[in-house]
Amino acid sequence: MGKVNVRICSGGRCFMQGGSDLLDYEEFLDDGIARECEFETCNCLGECKKDALSRMEPPIVSVNGKLFGEMSPQKLYRAINDELAARS
């Protein structure tokens, strides 16, 4: 079974608008869940710089390719759990 791929944007806006807390994932995720994921940080995905209608608000995280805006530790935990549930 493949791991859940979590890409946390560490572009300027994401990092400074709360994304820095997400990079600290070891603090708020269970070891068991964190082990099932592979974490990456990435440069700006460009989603926050689109025009007003299609723009996503930072911080942005991609979980198995699905993009989430305004990510919080709680939302990240839920998104990973959903992926784990869909996998089994």
Partner 1 sequence: MLEQNNQYNILNRRIDTEVIRAFFNGTLTEDIDKIPYRIFPKDSARVNKCCIFKERAMVRYRIMELLGINIERYDFEFLPIKSHLEFVLHEDVDDFPVLTTVQLACYGCPPEQYRITDGCRGCAARPCTTNCPKDAIVFINNRGYIIEDKCIKCGKCFSVCPYHAVIHLPVPCEQACPVGAVRKNEHGHAEVDHDKCISCGKCIHSCPFGAIAERSSLFTILKMLKRGEKTVAMIAPAIEGQFPGTLSQIKAALLKVGFTQVFEVAKGAEMTSVNEASELDEKKNEGLGFMTTSCCPAYTQLVEKHLKFLKPIISTALSPMGYAARACKEMFPDHKTVFIGPCLAKRVEGINDPNVDCVMNFNDLSSIFMALDVEVGEMERADLGDSSSFRDCRGFCFSGGVAECVLNRVENRERMRIMKVNGLDKKSIAIMRTWEKKPPEADLVEVMCCEGGCIQGPSSITKPSLAMKFRGKD
How far apart are CB 10 and partner 1 at their closest, in Å? Answer: 4
For partner 1, give the closer residue by CB, 5 or 10: 10
How far apart are CB 59 and partner 1 at their closest, in Å? Answer: 9
The conformational region for residue 62 under phi > 0 = left, psi -120 to 50 = alpha, else beta, is beta
19 contacts: CB under 8 Å, gap ≥ 6: 8, 9, 10, 58, 59, 60, 61, 71
| Residues making contact with partner 1 (CB under 8 A) | 10-13, 15-18, 20-21, 23-24, 27, 43-44, 49
